[in-house]
Amino acid sequence: MRWKKKEKQLPPSTGPLIRLENLVKIYDTGALKVLGLKKINLTIERGEFVAIMGHSGSGKSTLMNILGCLDRPTLGHYYLDGVDTAGMTPDQLSDIRNRKIGFVFQSFNLISRTSALKNVELPMTYARISRSRRTERAKELLTRVGLGGRMNHLPNELSGGQRQRVAIARALANEPPLLLADEPTGNLDTASSIEIMELFTQLHREGTTVVLVTHEEDIAAFAKRIIRFGDGQIQSDRIHHPVWDMEAGFQAEKGGIRPC
């Protein structure tokens, strides 16, 4: 699938989009303290496509929550777009989530009684964008992800792959520099998973920074960098060359992706 390439915008800050310095996360359960992350140092440049992998309890979900400003580190620093988020108040974290981060979840997290169009408009409502502008942009985004004819459908009238496309359109609503995807294909069949990963790949090629958590090797293989976590630490961090990057281009077809 192809769409009109969005206009390039100058980044609001220079330097890496994500920088973690000696990041530590400790969970205090009362009876004992659990070390979730152990002095993580990590840099993710603008426009990277990164997959984070690891077994349950490895620390990858803890890291994802901190990257998404859903949680704060116990020690250390998290710089997002050049701003240290570690000491921010809950209101400040909420504001930065709305402006800087787009979320895509395994369970879609769509409002069931609201149309696809209204679901995509929601982040723009919180950002106080005018009704006419947010409706116009929501229509543009749904068309962009291939749902131009499904704008007024409710989530239960859409397939799993279509619902995830709505979620991706919603994540892009406020033009965030960072797209975080937590097991985005976990509830999808193989064909739908490929279609969704094609969307992420295209977004990456257009300049969006994509960071996804997955336990599936074939899904991680779409990324250009794979970071593996274990016992709260980075075990490996390597550059990966997906097949699509070795070709002049690609197109999605039923049953898989074929070179153009």
- Architecture per CATH, 18-259: 3-Layer(aba) Sandwich (3.40)
Going from the C-alpha of 214 to that of each of 16, 29, 53, 134, 220, the distances in angstroms are: 23, 27, 6, 31, 7
Q: How confident is the model at residue 32 (pLDDT cuts 50, 70, 90)?
A: confident
pLDDT in tens, 176-203: 999 999 999 999 999 999 999 999 999 9
CA-nearest of 121, 213, 111 to 173 is 121
CA-nearest of 98, 92, 143, 99 to 117 is 143
Q: How confident is the model at residue 159 (pLDDT cuts 50, 70, 90)?
A: very high
Q: What count of residues does the chain have?
A: 260
Residue bearing tokens 């009362």: 30
Q: Are 80 and 96 in contact (CB under 8 A)?
A: yes
Could you state, in order of their start, the residue ranges of all structural domains in the chain? Answer: 18-259
User: Model pTM?
Assistant: 0.85
pLDDT in tens, 133-148: 999 999 999 999 999 9
Going from the C-alpha of 94 to that of each of 26, 84, 247, the distances in angstroms are: 22, 14, 40
